[in-house]
Chains A and B, each alone.
Chain A
Amino acid sequence: MEFFIQQVINGLTLGGLYALIALGYTMVYGIIQLINFAHGEFFAAGGYMGVILLSFLAAHGYMETHPWFCLFGALLLTMGYCAMLAMAVEKVAYKPLRYASRLSVLLSALGMSIFLQNGLMLTQGVYDKAYPTEFTHGGLDFGLITFSYMQILIVAVTIALLLGLNALVFRTRIGTAMRATAQDKVMSSLVGINSNRIISTTFAIGAALAAAAGIMIGLYYGSVRYDMGFVPGIKAFAAAVLGGIGNITGAMVGGLIIGMVEIFAAGYLSSEYKDVWAFIILIAVLYFMPTGIMGENVDDTRV
């Protein structure tokens, strides 16, 4: 039983992180029907920005005196930085192709992914960068179950961000505008919504969430590397598809399912085939529900 609960905690942590990254895929797909392959790189850039900021703060001793302030300051700055990066990428690589065929935009996204990853490699080096992890140790111990402080932090921040996003999309004017643009770009611009700005905002929000995942993964695992965006990017993409691409709640659910399946496959079956199980679930779900768990059966106009 302890074993089971411990694995649920592990799965919740991993699944939450996948969900955060998956949201970026699903939101961008919802609004311009583009699989943004460069999204994993925003996540990696977030991880790097986090290590740069936190190392700087640690070197000046602020980490010792105000750890929480530093942590949330770095989190916000990193999210802001990645939001701007995503807006720049959108301007350079996707906006000129707004009316081109979808394949061209997809290739542009792939190119951007390679460009960003190599940019990280050239500017930050090929070696792993270590996070200052002094304050990430310890946890709540219930006999055989350990809920480490980092896991608590990750789950808490993930839940806060997911709730915040839900409120933003469903309760604010900008959220309404986003949903309107996703449904019909022409019609929404006729009623006075600046669709370019909305698309830009969507990229920014998605990237900010990925950046938050990046910095938390850096803290949790203790290091970042320039190619860290690839594998979680693929998994999160699978999560978005599993949940029904374009659907925000679906991405959250999909992320949690992929994370849980991975952890339980590793815990109860075998660790070497955990990814296989995650993808078997994906295939099985898509076989019976081709639009994903939460996907609606409407072409191209999902939110």
Chain B
Amino acid sequence: MKRLLSLSLALALALTVATAAPGLAKTLKVGSLSPLTGPYAADGNDIANGVRAAIAVVEQEGGIPGYDAIELFAQDSACDPRQAVAAANKLINEKVAFVIGAYCSSATIPASETLDEESIPMLTPASTSEKVTERGLAHMYRICGRDDDQSVVAVKFMVEHLKAGTVYIIDDKTTYSQGLADNVEAKAGAAGIKVLGHDHVNQGDKDFSAVLTKVKQADPAVFYMSLQNSSSGALMAIQARRMGITAPIIGQDAVYHPQLMEIAKEAAEGMYLTFGFIDQERPLYKLFLEQYAKMGFASPGAYSGYAFDAAYAALKAIKETGGTDPDKMKAALMAMDYDGATKRIKFLENGDSGSNYIIRKVQGGEFINYWNPETNALY
């Protein structure tokens, strides 16, 4: 019995040493910041999974010289400014090389200020509010588009394709959704579209019957809904159709998620959404899809691809400079010009990478490329 005990003790000791040994080698720590719980958990997990896929692809391509492994610290920002800052501080303590995130602009902005104090680069795959890159932060980058560009495309679509005379706008009062809705209201007014009403609902509301009754009575030619996530979008679409609102619905990138059709089913049919153009034929996009499926994740959401691109670009920068110095990374990122998975990766002076919004449409339970704003033609 005693021998068995000492044997097992020795074994335990050996195991500790064995597991400790690789710790001596260098591990590259990277962080992600997205809502992993709460109402935006679906999009948040998409972002973390996109980063995981990028890490896997980089490791398959031979990894990063000087590092044995890449470790992801996926933090939960919960779309909450306070929790996002706490999570950012946690990532600072872990000494991550860069952070991918966050999702809600209202969480990205405070978190980025915290990260900026330590000069940790932040690349957002999803926050489209203009303010994100307009505060003069040195290490803030954005892969997705911007709301001011998004609203231009939405209004252009109303005018040129739908030839609408009236619009009713509903938003759910986040930095992102209200900002976008205000932009659309202003631009629609300027373009000669009459705004019949602009109502706000609360984040996480489930019952929209009262406000939709108002929409039905106003009988607009277009119903523009600016909501923070796909499940709110699905709820509103179901209730609108059930109530008998037949006007075309225009949504935006936050509502873009396979969940929309899963929940709303036929109520989502014919919905239009502004979303960045993705060429499905790009080699890196195919690689991303393949890796994403191989890792057992559900089909990519709106931001999985952007998160992949953000992480891939940052890892590429580290590979090129051979270290994690933020200033050198900045130089490498700014010099980049290559075909990413979702778009051409070429950063502008302020950290943006340009918008390429088009109109997509739900048809047969899938998103299809529908209308090109540059040519005013269907795809």
Contact = CB atoms under 8 A, between A and B. Distances in A.
Dominant secondary structure of chain B at its interface with chain A: helix
Interface stretch (A86-94, A216-224, A284-292): A216-224
B244 interface: yes
B265 A127 contact: no
A126 B42 contact: yes
Given A127-B41, A223-B234, A271 B210 contact: yes
A270 B200 contact: yes
Interface string A136-179: 01010100101010100000000000000000000000000000
Given A126-B36, A266-B211, A272-B173, A150 B231 contact: no
Contact of B199 (A3, A133, A270, A275): A270
Given A126-B45, A128-B259, A267 B211 contact: yes
A222 B201 contact: no
B354 interface: no
Given A3-B213, A128-B231, A146 B200 contact: no
Contacts of B234: 128, 222-223
Contact of A10 (B173, B213, B231, B298): B213
Given A222-B264, A271-B201, A274-B210, A126 B242 contact: no
A95 to B, nearest CB: 31
B240 to A, nearest CB: 11
A137 B213 contact: no
A190 interface: no
B347 to A, nearest CB: 32
Interface string B32-61: 000011110110010000000000000000
Interface string B196-213: 000111101011111101
Most buried by B among A146, A262, A275: A146
B70 interface: no
B202 A227 contact: no
A221 B238 contact: yes
Interface in A264-281: 264-267, 270-272, 274-275
Contact of A144 (B208, B211, B216, B235): B216
Nearest to A230: B204
A71 interface: no
A227 B213 contact: no
Size category of the B interface is 35 or more
B217 interface: yes
Contacts of A144: 216-217
A13 interface: yes
Interface residues of A, number: 41
Contacts of A227: 38-39
Nearest to A141: B244
B111 to A, nearest CB: 20
A150 to B, nearest CB: 7
Contacts of B200: 270-272
A250 to B, nearest CB: 23
Most buried by A among B41, B204, B266: B41
A127 B211 contact: no
B162 interface: no
A148 B213 CA distance: 13
Contact of A225 (B36, B199, B231): B231
Contacts of B42: 126-128
A6 interface: yes
A266 B105 CA distance: 27
Most buried by B among A14, A227, A228, A266: A266
B214 interface: yes
B262 A130 contact: yes
B263 interface: yes
B9 interface: no
Contacts of B243: 146, 148
A144 B255 CA distance: 29
Interface string B232-274: 0011001101111000000000000001001111110000000
Given A128-B231, A128-B263, A134-B265, A221 B213 contact: no
B242 A10 contact: no
A221 B235 contact: yes
A263 B234 CA distance: 20
Contacts of A14: 207, 209
A263 B209 contact: yes
A121 interface: yes
B307 to A, nearest CB: 17
Contacts of B238: 133, 221-222
Nearest to B241: A137
Most buried by B among A134, A222, A227: A222
A130 B365 CA distance: 14
Given A14-B209, A127-B42, A146-B243, A3 B265 contact: no
A7 B210 contact: yes
Interface of B: 36-39, 41-42, 45, 170, 173, 199-202, 204, 206-211, 213-214, 216-217, 231, 234-235, 238-239, 241-244, 259, 262-267, 298
Given A128-B234, A137-B241, A223-B263, 6 more contacts: A6-B216, A126-B37, A133-B238, A231-B204, A263-B209, A267-B214
